Structure 1
Amino acid sequence: MNVQFLAIDGPLLLSPAVYADERGWFSESWNRRRFAEALGKEDADAPEFVQDNHSRSVQGVLRGLHFQRAPHPQGKLVRCTVGEVFDVAVDLRRDSPTLGQWVGERLSAENQHQLWVPVGFAHGFLTLSAVAEVQYKTAGYWSRECERSLAWNDPSIAIDWPLQELPAPHQPLLAPKDAAAPGLGALAAAGDLFAPDNV
């Protein structure tokens, strides 16, 4: 497994080895020991994944930006198994020097890349292909009480979504809760950023 460190400390881009021949291909998509090594941890200290999620989206759907507050935060290991998405993680760690900064990567069935989105980050993706299926493991169970959203188009964050790749009028399809999500300033005022002891 190849591990790429990104511009912000925390998220990682993982590229599993793919073994292909005339029959097709094989890939080990998850290995706890290798994941722990990628995080610089011992096997026993790796995040424990407790839930697998699977979503299907049509072109233009933007899901996110989502995160969960303490006491039930979630880390996510995200991959795209059908089609292609632009996957984003935004730093919401209150005392981080990169607070409000983001990283984005193309995840696709073809490249088989995976994005590790640790606790302390909001996560979202834009569907670029006609349809896409995204699967992700979560370190932490879903909690309605702890779930929060961050505005996908907050100008203070200025995510460079590849909207030009969508059919005209180049606008994403959003769930009502995502369309109404607050910006970074409102989250900070509400005390919804991650304190150092919550990451």
Structure 2
Amino acid sequence: MTRVFLYNPFKSDCIEDLIDRWIQAEKARGWTKELVRVRHGPDKPLGDLKAGDTLYIIGHGDVTPNRMVDRGPTEDGTREILQPHELAARVLADGLTDKAITIKIYSCLAARGVLDSFAMNAAVQIKLKCGSMGGMSCKFDIYGYDEIVSILVLNPQTGEYGKFVGELKQDVTGVNEDTIELTTVKASSSRRLLVKKGFGLM
């Protein structure tokens, strides 16, 4: 069975809470996929990926272009920010090697702007740093999402489990999740193929 890796590339536990909720939703719908939970660290957790697996790189999107953020504070009280080359360096340090896997940069608005988006730039950097022959014969298929996307949840409007596109509420008064309302549109419909196998872009 192919596996789905849920990867926290940050140092704080903020993304761990999202992964907790994703796994709880997967349990509630009957464990339809084999999930592997991994996070950035010294034990090269991405070295276990095998051909056919899917890697979700999970983080929060940001209105500032070309960065993925963590909403949890680090030891010095700041929030960690990863730019495309930093994310690529981190997955390389965590053991990612060139295998026929699908990588999904799972962050709100990551592919917004397409050619100059965080997801595109991160995909190119991952390919150059982790792919074979400097990316020339890379086996990765890398995706990004150009909408606000949820983790795996039970949609309150449909009663269906899935990853859905969200939209900002008209009367934004809350913070974090309180500002987003899920739609019935599946997140898979908003993904963009960014980097194909080999040297192809788009």
Q: Using structure 1 for the length normalisation, give the TM-score.
A: 0.29
Which structure has greater strand proportion?
Answer: 1
Q: Using structure 2 for the length normalisation, give the TM-score.
A: 0.29
- Pick 1 or 2: higher relative contact order, CA cutoff 8 A, min separation 6: 1
